[in-house]
Amino acid sequence: MSLLIVGSIALDTVKTPVEEHSDLLGGSASYAAAAASYFSPVKLVGVVGSDFPKSEFDFWKSRKIDTAGVQQVEGKTFRWSGEYAWDMNTRETRSTELNVFEKFEPELPPAYRETDFALLANIAPALQMNVLKQIQRPRFVVADTMNLWIETTRKDLDALLPNVDLLILNDSEAREMVKETSLIKAGRRIRESGPRYVAIKKGEHGALLFGEDEFFSCGAYPLEDIHDPTGAGDTFAGGMAGYLASTVRKVTFTDLRKAMIYGSVLASFCVEAFSLDRLRNLTMEQINERYETFKLMSQFEGAE
Amino acid sequence: MSLLIVGSIALDTVKTPVEEHSDLLGGSASYAAAAASYFSPVKLVGVVGSDFPKSEFDFWKSRKIDTAGVQQVEGKTFRWSGEYAWDMNTRETRSTELNVFEKFEPELPPAYRETDFALLANIAPALQMNVLKQIQRPRFVVADTMNLWIETTRKDLDALLPNVDLLILNDSEAREMVKETSLIKAGRRIRESGPRYVAIKKGEHGALLFGEDEFFSCGAYPLEDIHDPTGAGDTFAGGMAGYLASTVRKVTFTDLRKAMIYGSVLASFCVEAFSLDRLRNLTMEQINERYETFKLMSQFEGAE
């Protein structure tokens, strides 16, 4: 089934201790859509400026990503620039220019309104809610968020949560959201505030998934070299939502477990190259090979 | 088969944000022996002073821990005192009094010299080596270490490593040992320096296990409340080594996977109470119940 994805579409400038590249495709929706496209047809919602490269529309077309919901307007595309510390674990934002994103008002094309699955990738919760209201009875809604919205638009976020089936956030965001050091307590408390399921991303330490009486924990794919961590979290969310949208029956906790592994697999590819370059032409064989590695590295019964 | 354990035996004073207790049984060998005793008969090696409570010898006897190798000498028992920060993740050592431990020279009783399995719990690597030399052809040697030895007696540690089958250390120690931020790179590089297998403990994030071409990753048991983290790492090592000593054939990577889960299970009990109180009277049913929880929380195929 198809998956509607709304989020930011950006042109990023990224500096790591060894390389720097400018005006690369970025933004939460770009990463998520590329990742999800390996599992489900994607309907993309976002805004770009008149400077946005046509070649990226061609890329989306090649991945069967529907761009009827991407508005191209006069002005410059949203731009973000960041620099990573030597250990690649911390980064500093050098600049954020909202540009055409500042006045973005998502309006879904009629064909988008009956989508069964929706991923509200990381943007302001008011925009996420705006899009959600335009969809008729979605079967499953995934939302990603970040510390900025927890700190500045908490009311909007709280209003969104009861409409979300799966909330995805990272460890520091989870701790901040409920003022709780234990991630186990944090995950359970966030779940009680609305979303049916909560996934906490822990970077190199993997991810945790909380259901009502269910819990799942997975490690990260054992990568030695990371070239650009940008978008790993958006890719994780896209991989998860894309896999979920490919299931046919009611989403079960087992589907969510597998989705989390696929999200982790896609994120592991994402960080191996700058921007979303590594996500442009993966094969299902490559994806499934890493999925099998996850099986091997996490099973302890019958593993001989 | 029986497991020889050498390490420190201490009387600890521990302060957490909510409680403080004095003169509790502590030390790496005490935690490790209690944990291992659920799987294998233990032969304990260490030293205590004339002030050491007889009741703890009774406890060891009740757990079938052989104390023929525990010297009781004139003077005070090794004492450690520490205080945990509000988040229970960081601690400060308030005092360390070596006392009788300062002149400790391990001498194995004859019945100890043919032990098949040995756990060199956390003490100075020169002492670990001393004990190892007294054992005739051990089948499998597990060693634990800490940042102090990496920083102050690195030569001794490097000399020990090629004699070790499984080295256990925590994430910051692994990073420090090979000056490497990536834990995946660190684990592989430490393995190349001698030990056949390396286990990296990551606290609330679980643990990683490295073999020549093999890799295993597990999460931590999802605990909400931690009362005293002291000894969790020693308990993990004891649980791992104890389970390994209970296997009858040549140790395989699958045995090591299961051992790591049992180590994690025992550590999860350890932190639920002060000192090693929670390890005094567990049942195999309680242990296996948590082992099953690990299965449920980590499998993503056939989990329905």
Which chain A residues are closer than 8 Å to B264 by Cβ?
none
Chain B residues contacting A via beta carbons under 8 Å: 87-89, 181-185, 188, 202, 204-206, 208, 215-220, 222-226, 252-254, 257-258, 260-261, 294-301, 303-304
Output the CA–CA distances (angstroms, integers) from residue B132 to B105, B114, B135, B140, B157, in the order listed.
Answer: 13, 11, 5, 11, 13
Which chain B residues are closer than 8 Å to A202 by Cβ?
205
Which chain A residues are closer than 8 Å to B220 by Cβ?
217
What's the angle, vertex CA B56, arms to CA B50 and CA B60, rounded to 5? 125
The mean pLDDT of A107-118, rounded to a whole number, is 95
Cβ pair B217:A188 closer than 8 A: no
- Among candidates B88, B183, B261 on the partner chain, residue whose Cβ is nearest the Cβ of A204: B183
- From CA A161, how far away is CA A13, in angstroms rounded? 32
Which chain B residues are closer than 8 Å to A301 by Cβ?
258, 295
Closest CA in chain A for residue B253? A304
Residue A86 phi, psi (nearest 5): -55, -30
Quick: pLDDT tens for A225-272: 899 999 999 999 999 999 999 998 899 999 999 999 999 999 999 999
Distance from chain centroid for Cα B297: 24
How many other C-beta atoms lie within 10 A of the C-beta of residue A35? Answer: 34
pLDDT computed for residue A303 by the predictor: 52
Closest CA to A144 of A174, A114, A186: A174
Mutation target for A interface from B205, B213, B240, B261: give the one with most A CBs within 10 A: B205
Cβ pair B300:A257 closer than 8 A: yes
The mean pLDDT of A22-40, rounded to a whole number, is 97
> Shortest Cα distance from A182 to chain B (angstroms)?
7
pLDDT computed for residue B303 by the predictor: 52
Mutation target for B interface from A198, A208, A217, A225: give the one with most B CBs within 10 A: A217
pLDDT computed for residue B249 by the predictor: 83
- Among candidates B222, B261, B294 on the partner chain, residue whose Cβ is nearest the Cβ of A184: B222
Q: What 3-state DSSP class applies to A53?
A: coil
> Shortest Cα distance from A141 to chain B (angstroms)?
21
- From CA B180, how far away is CA B174, in angstroms rounded? 8
Distance from chain centroid for Cα B23: 20
- From CA B40, how far away is CA B38, in angstroms rounded? 6
Average pLDDT, chain A: 95
Element (H, E) at A62: helix A54-62
Mutation target for A interface from B84, B201, B217: give the one with most A CBs within 10 A: B217
Q: Give the number of beta-carbon pairs within 8 Å between A and B.
A: 107
**What is the mean pLDDT, run by run of 10 residues, along chain B of 304 residues?**
96 94 97 98 98 98 97 97 88 94 94 95 96 94 95 96 97 95 95 96 96 96 93 97 93 97 98 96 97 96 63
In this predicted structure, the answer to whether residue A304 has a pLDDT above a threshold of 60 is: no
Strand partners, B96: B80
What's the angle, vertex CA A205, arms to CA A38 and CA A264, rounded to 5? 5
DSSP state letters, A97-126: E-GGGGG------GGGTT-SEEEE-SS-HH
Cβ pair B300:A218 closer than 8 A: yes
> Shortest Cα distance from A218 to chain B (angstroms)?
6
- From CA A40, how far away is CA A64, in angstroms rounded? 9
- From CA B185, how far away is CA B178, in angstroms rounded? 9
Query: Could you tell me the fold of the domain covering A3-298?
Result: UDP-N-acetylmuramoyl-L-alanine:D-glutamate ligase (3.40.1190)
Quick: pLDDT tens for A180-234: 989 999 999 999 999 999 999 999 999 999 999 999 999 999 998 899 999 999 9
Output the CA–CA distances (angstroms, integers) from residue A64 to A34, A53, A131, in the order listed.
Answer: 10, 18, 21
- From CA A199, how far away is CA A215, in angstroms rounded? 10
Residue identified by tokens 């957490």 is B16
pLDDT computed for residue A302 by the predictor: 67
pLDDT computed for residue B90 by the predictor: 86
- From CA B239, how far away is CA B269, in angstroms rounded? 11
- Among candidates A182, A296, A298 on the partner chain, residue whose Cβ is nearest the Cβ of B298: A298
Cβ pair B218:A223 closer than 8 A: no
- Among candidates B89, B225, B257 on the partner chain, residue whose Cβ is nearest the Cβ of A300: B257
B228 Cβ contact list (under 8 Å, min separation 6): B14, B16, B84, B271, B273, B274, B275
CB B237 within 8 A of CB B145: no
Cβ pair B219:A208 closer than 8 A: yes
Element (H, E) at A89: none
Cβ pair B300:A204 closer than 8 A: no
> Shortest Cα distance from A134 to chain B (angstroms)?
34
Report ipTM (2 d.p.). Answer: 0.90
Cβ pair A299:B182 closer than 8 A: no
> Shortest Cα distance from A223 to chain B (angstroms)?
7
Q: What 3-state DSSP class applies to A145?
A: coil
- From CA B25, how far away is CA B249, in angstroms rounded? 34
* Residues found in chain A: 304
The domains of chain A are located at 3-298
